Structure 1
């Protein structure tokens, strides 16, 4: 598929074997809930895009996200050192996205944010298929991390779902891939390959619900000698299709709808995450969190990303169960108005 939006102005919906060459949102036949055609200004205002790169290991955990919300460009980055409990975190908010740029090509191009001597940059390369994170902060922190989807072969999750009465969301997810590169910071210097780091990645864009929420869970690591990744969500991307899946040695295994049971006032306490088809039964206990709260009337966010350990079992229908024993990962509890 060369373009996500077809000749009639409508998206291609469903689960895709490959990745669209271009998320050509300007070609979308965008209408009001009452059927009135909306112009270029409305298309710009309502289109949102974000990209996330996460790092997981026993010695270091990190995450970096960039978001284009039309009226604002937002970015954050953090590093957490499990042994000491120490953390570095920075947040950036740029009006009208000044100092940012976003490519609408999921497998190629650059998304970045610059503010002063701070740079957050996410690169997507097609040949070979690689994702790279580069962070340079004015306090001397530097992250240079990348992973490949070619060696060994990996099947990303790629789908487009209808959203609300007049929108859609495209998402491409990866988890359970080994990572290489280096991190230099006040927490120490780390060779990511030497410490056995894994990575996960999210590229999402579209006309999302103007007011929405989601819970999300992701883990990456090694279990029973297998490379394992998990991507589970509740609240978005569930109209006709779901993004829920896990990977075993790069093979994508789809999962039905999932339920998140947790105490919103105590996010570091136990979460129970189960799928309707019985393939996922996980417990998560938090160790630390990154949180943001923003309320500008026209844009609002109440965001918690909690990192900690997963236990439980994955039960693929066509192979032996895989036990998850203390693997590091993330969960999210997110409300957004945009």
Structure 2
């Protein structure tokens, strides 16, 4: 599929075997809930896009996100050192997304944020199926990390769903891939291949609900010689289809809807995550978190991304169940108005 939006102005919907070449949102026949055709200004204002790159290992946990919310460009990066419990984190907010650029090609192009001597950059390459994260901060922190979906072959989750009465969201996610590269920071210097790091990645864009909330869970690691990745959500990307899935050595296995049971006021208490079809039964125990609260009137966010360890089982149909024992990963609780 070359373009997500068809010639008639309507999106392709479903779960796709490969990413569209272009998320051509300007070609969308965007209308108000009462059916009035909306113009270029409304398309710009309501279209939102973000990209996330995560690192997971027993020695280092990291996350970096970029978001274009039309009225603001937002970025964050953090590193957490599990053995010591130390953490470094930075946040950036740029009015009208000045100092940012975002490609609308999920598998190609650059998304980046520049603020002073700070750079957050995510680069995707079609030819090699590589994803790369580059972070350079004014305190000397540097992250240069990447992975490839080509060898061994890896099937990403590519999904487009209707959203509310007049929107849609395209999401593309992977987890459970070996990560290479270098990290230099006040927490220490790390060779990501040497510490057996894994990576996960999220590329999402579309006309999302103006006020929304979601939970998300992700893990990556190795179990009995098998690479395992997991991506689950509740509250978003689940109209007609869901993004819920896990990967075994790059093979995507679909999962039904999931339930997140946790205490929102005490997010560091254990979480329980179970799927309706019984394939997923996990307990998550927190080890730390990155959180942000923003209330700018038209834009607001209450965001908690919590990192810790998962225990439980995955039950792929017709196969031996997989025991998850202390695998590192993330859960998320997010409210957004945008």
TM-score w.r.t. the length of structure 2 is 1.00
Structure 1 stretches lacking a partner, 5+ long: none
Matches within 5 A, 1:252-271: 252-271=252-271
Output the CA distance in 2 between the equivalents of 1:241 and 1:138: 42
Q: Does the residue aligned with 2:317 lie in a helix, a strand or coil?
A: coil
Q: How many residues align?
A: 338
Q: Which residue of 2 aligns with 1:229?
A: 229
Output the CA distance in 1 between the equivalents of 2:312 and 2:233: 17
Output the CA distance in 2 between the equivalents of 1:285 and 1:64: 22
Q: Cα deviations across residues 140-194 of structure 1 (Å, max 9, x unaligned)?
A: 0000000000111100000100000000000000000000000000000000000
Note the C-alpha offset of 1:235. Answer: 0.4
Q: Does the residue aligned with 1:36 lie in a helix, a strand or coil?
A: coil
Q: Within the alignment, does 1:293 sit opposite 2:275 as a pair? A: no
Q: Does the residue aligned with 1:232 lie in a helix, a strand or coil?
A: strand
Q: Which residue of 1 aligns with 2:43?
A: 43
Q: Would the aligned equivalents of 1:224 and 1:323 in 2 still touch at CA under 8 Å?
A: no
Tell me the C-alpha RMSD between the 2 structures: 0.4
Output the CA distance in 2 between the equivalents of 1:37 and 1:320: 53
Matches within 5 A, 1:1-338: 1-338=1-338
Note the C-alpha offset of 1:318. Answer: 2.7
Output the CA distance in 2 between the equivalents of 1:22 and 1:265: 40
Output the CA distance in 1 between the equivalents of 2:296 and 2:116: 24
Q: Does the residue aligned with 1:159 lie in a helix, a strand or coil?
A: strand
Output the CA distance in 1 between the equivalents of 2:90 and 2:222: 29
Output the CA distance in 2 between the equivalents of 1:194 and 1:59: 10
Note the C-alpha offset of 1:265. Answer: 1.1
Note the C-alpha offset of 1:269. Answer: 1.0
Note the C-alpha offset of 1:320. Answer: 1.2
Output the CA distance in 2 between the equivalents of 1:111 and 1:60: 24
Output the CA distance in 2 between the equivalents of 1:307 and 1:27: 38
Q: Does the residue aligned with 2:22 lie in a helix, a strand or coil?
A: coil
Note the C-alpha offset of 1:197. Answer: 0.0
Output the CA distance in 1 between the equivalents of 2:255 and 2:8: 31
Output the CA distance in 2 between the equivalents of 1:309 and 1:268: 12
Structure 2 stretches lacking a partner, 5+ long: none
Output the CA distance in 2 between the equivalents of 1:11 and 1:62: 34
Note the C-alpha offset of 1:225. Answer: 1.2
Runs of 4+ in structure 1 deviating by more than 3 angstroms, as ranges, are none
Q: Does the residue aligned with 1:237 lie in a helix, a strand or coil?
A: coil
